[in-house]
Structure 1
Amino acid sequence: MGIEIIPNWHPIFVHFTIGLLSISALLYLAGLVFKKPNLLVAARWNLWIGAAVTIATVLAGFYAYNTVAHDGPSHAAMTDHKNWALVTASIFGVLALWSLIKHRGAKTVHPAFVALILLASGILAITGFKGGELVYRHGLGVMSMPEVSGDGGHGSHSHGEYGDAGHHGTAEETHDHGSHEH
């Protein structure tokens, strides 16, 4: 029996892509600044593994692009995210190949490479933001929430040590649970 991720695997792979590639950039920067070859080794491995996972992320993204139900505005946002993702993946692919060919086993890294991977990480952040917008602004790829009835379930649990305050502010503040859904 396979594991079913609703609606697809893209949300799983993308977190590895973002984490590995971002950490790689930070490790490259630290390796350059502190002149620590062991940080560069870790940076390279994060970049190489991140680039490999990115292939799966892009493939799963194409699957999501072609299968997730969406409307016109969502389609435009999906296309924008896809275009940014393809550019981002291509840049990191080139950086991974550059690192494999030029830096494998090197005890130093060229500052231009570090500048490029930091720039690529900024582009990755923009791409990730655009993907987050698809989920949280357009509601793509998520199952519908259960219908809320009564007090929204707030009467059935505690908000921790702050009692009535919790994430709703101070105990003196009021929060009308009937004015919106949780």
Structure 2
Amino acid sequence: MLELLPQLNDRNLPWVDTIHPIVVHFVIAMALIAFVFDVIGRLAGKPELYEVSFWNLLFATAAIFVAIIFGQVEAGLANPYGESRDILNLHSTIGWALAGILSVLTAWRYVIRSKDPRRLPLAFLGAGSVLSVLVVVQVLLGSELVWIYGLHTVKVVEAMREGLV
């Protein structure tokens, strides 16, 4: 049965490179730009930017689930070591929380948009700022996993396979 599974490459992955970071960068960009457009729309009195923000939120919500699926698979193949285990667990937990928060905010935004697309309550902007802070924290944790602990990098995978890590 195991022979049916693909062989892992030098990054300890069944595909060429990590897919999670590729997808998650779309989520990061769309979630943050949605908040930026909301703030600019509110401050500049340009409610048409709320429409741009809504669509960014909607696509960020769909994309985060794709990012989580690949993230969970790649995390399972990462062989975290030392403190990277705790960071990876926190990163995974916050990722799932962000999926829930994005889903709730998108649903809330849909209701707001349905009632009056030219108005945006300050409470929603507050929620958007909390979302933005969580996204930044998540980016820092993910960066630490790659740039400090080297998960899925060739050198670290080689060291693990040789029993050095």
Instruction: Answer yes or no: same fold by TM over 0.5.
Output: yes
Pick from 102, 109, 112: which aligns with 2:112?
102
Letter in 1 for 2:149: H
Letter in 2 for 1:69: N
In 1, Cα distance between equivalents of 2:65 and 2:111: 19
Pick from 118, 139, 164: which aligns with 1:128?
139
- After superposing the two structures, state which structure 1 stretch, 70-79 or 121-130, moved more: 70-79
Pick from 77, 81, 86: which aligns with 1:67?
77
Residues 137, 99 of structure 1: CA spacing in aligned structure 2 closer, same or farther, 3 A cutoff? same
Moved over 4 A (4+): none
In 1, Cα distance between equivalents of 2:94 and 2:111: 26
Aligned-pair CA distance for 1:22: 0.3
Pick from 131, 137, 143: which aligns with 2:154?
143
Pick from 46, 54, 58: which aligns with 1:48?
58
- How many residue pairs align between the two structures? 141
In 1, Cα distance between equivalents of 2:46 and 2:21: 34
Say whether residues 1:85 and 2:95 are aligned partners.
Answer: yes
In 2, Cα distance between equivalents of 1:36 and 1:108: 10
Query: In 1, are the aligned partners of 2:80 and 2:88 still within 8 Å (CA)?
Result: no
Aligned-pair CA distance for 1:27: 0.4
In 2, Cα distance between equivalents of 1:80 and 1:121: 17
Residues 20, 5 of structure 1: CA spacing in aligned structure 2 closer, same or farther, 3 A cutoff? farther
In 2, Cα distance between equivalents of 1:48 and 1:69: 33
Q: CA RMSD in A?
A: 1.6
What fraction of aligned residue pairs are identical, expressed as a percent?
Answer: 24
In 1, Cα distance between equivalents of 2:51 and 2:67: 24
**Larger-gyration structure (1/2):** 1
Pick from 31, 34, 37: which aligns with 2:41?
31
Aligned-pair CA distance for 1:37: 1.9
Aligned-pair CA distance for 1:112: 0.6
Which residue in the other structure is 2:127 paired with?
116
In 2, Cα distance between equivalents of 1:36 and 1:98: 20
Query: In 1, are the aligned partners of 2:78 and 2:152 still within 8 Å (CA)?
Result: yes
SS in 2 for 1:25: helix
Aligned-pair CA distance for 1:70: 2.2
Cα deviation code 1:98-139 (max 9, x no counterpart): 112232461111111011111110111001100100001111
Query: In 2, are the aligned partners of 1:32 and 1:111 still within 8 Å (CA)?
Result: no
